[in-house]
Amino acid sequence: MTAKRKAVVLLSGGLDSATVLAIAVHEGYDAYALSFRYGQRHSVELEAARQVAQALGATRHVVADIDLKTFGGSALTDDELAVPHHDSADELGSDIPITYVPARNTIFLSFALAWAETLDASDVFIGVSALDYSGYPDCRPEYIAAYETMANLATKAGVEGRQRLRIHTPLIQLTKAETIRRGQELGVDYSLTHSCYDPVGGRACGSCDSCLLRGRGFAELGLVDPALQPVAG
């Protein structure tokens, strides 16, 4: 029996990354899930990440502390900038929104690269989508390809020609609805996930960009987002 291959999976605790973790496990990887405490307002997502990692059978789950508040510049980390709310997903524009965190995916992937090198893993999974991507530049295929090229020049394994790092983006051509359908096939319990940028009392607001995109995905499948269902009681 050969050992299973290891992969580092970036896990925010949201819908997309939970689906990606399920895909990595389904593809036969030992999944090392990596989350970040980065000064985000919505740190309730870290508890969601913990539950998702456990439910989907991650081999290990690590939360790395990093300090992005030092730099500011995003409504997700800067208390002086408000998270925008809208009545419907149709109001979302194509501009890069204020919730964009400068260089966030670049930083997250860099930590994933460090962990992968330490684990001797050559696979990293990230849940970016070029379709329902809220206009973030670091979710596009050309960005991911350039990151992969750079990463293979950055590491011991790349230099020594032992292995080639691969960044897997299984959602990159999927709509939110297609992502949800894929996750349901793999048994993801979306009630555990948390995507809201601006939760109130630990509950999703239903009107930030992230809630609206996610809600529309469920609606297209004739479903209601479990994160927005009223608490029983």
Contact residues toward a second copy (CB under 8 A) are 62, 64-68, 70-73, 96, 100-107, 109-111, 113-115, 117-118, 137-138, 140, 142-143, 146-147, 149-151, 153-156, 158-160
Distance in angstroms (rounded) separating the CA atoms of residues 17 and 108: 13
User: In the complex with a second copy, which residue's Cβ is closer, 98 or 228?
Assistant: 98
Distance in angstroms (rounded) separating the CA atoms of residues 110 and 7: 14
In the bound complex, what is the minimum distance in angstroms from residue 121's beta carbon to a second copy? 11
In the bound complex, what is the minimum distance in angstroms from residue 44's beta carbon to a second copy? 20
Are residues 195 and 210 in contact, defined by beta-carbon separation less than 8 angstroms? yes
User: In the complex with a second copy, which residue's Cβ is closer, 55 or 66?
Assistant: 66
In the bound complex, what is the minimum distance in angstroms from residue 134's beta carbon to a second copy? 13
User: In the complex with a second copy, which residue's Cβ is closer, 107 or 228?
Assistant: 107
In the bound complex, what is the minimum distance in angstroms from residue 127's beta carbon to a second copy? 17
User: In the complex with a second copy, which residue's Cβ is closer, 97 or 215?
Assistant: 97
In the bound complex, what is the minimum distance in angstroms from residue 14's beta carbon to a second copy? 20
In the bound complex, what is the minimum distance in angstroms from residue 117's beta carbon to a second copy? 4
Distance in angstroms (rounded) separating the CA atoms of residues 39 and 68: 6
Instruction: Using alpha carbons, list the distances in angstroms from residue 174 to 85, 169, 181, 217.
Output: 24, 10, 10, 11
User: In the complex with a second copy, which residue's Cβ is closer, 118 or 173?
Assistant: 118
User: In the complex with a second copy, which residue's Cβ is closer, 37 or 41?
Assistant: 37
Neighbours of 42 (CB within 10 A): 23
**Strands across the sheet with 166-168, in order?**
30-37, 6-10, 123-125, 166-168
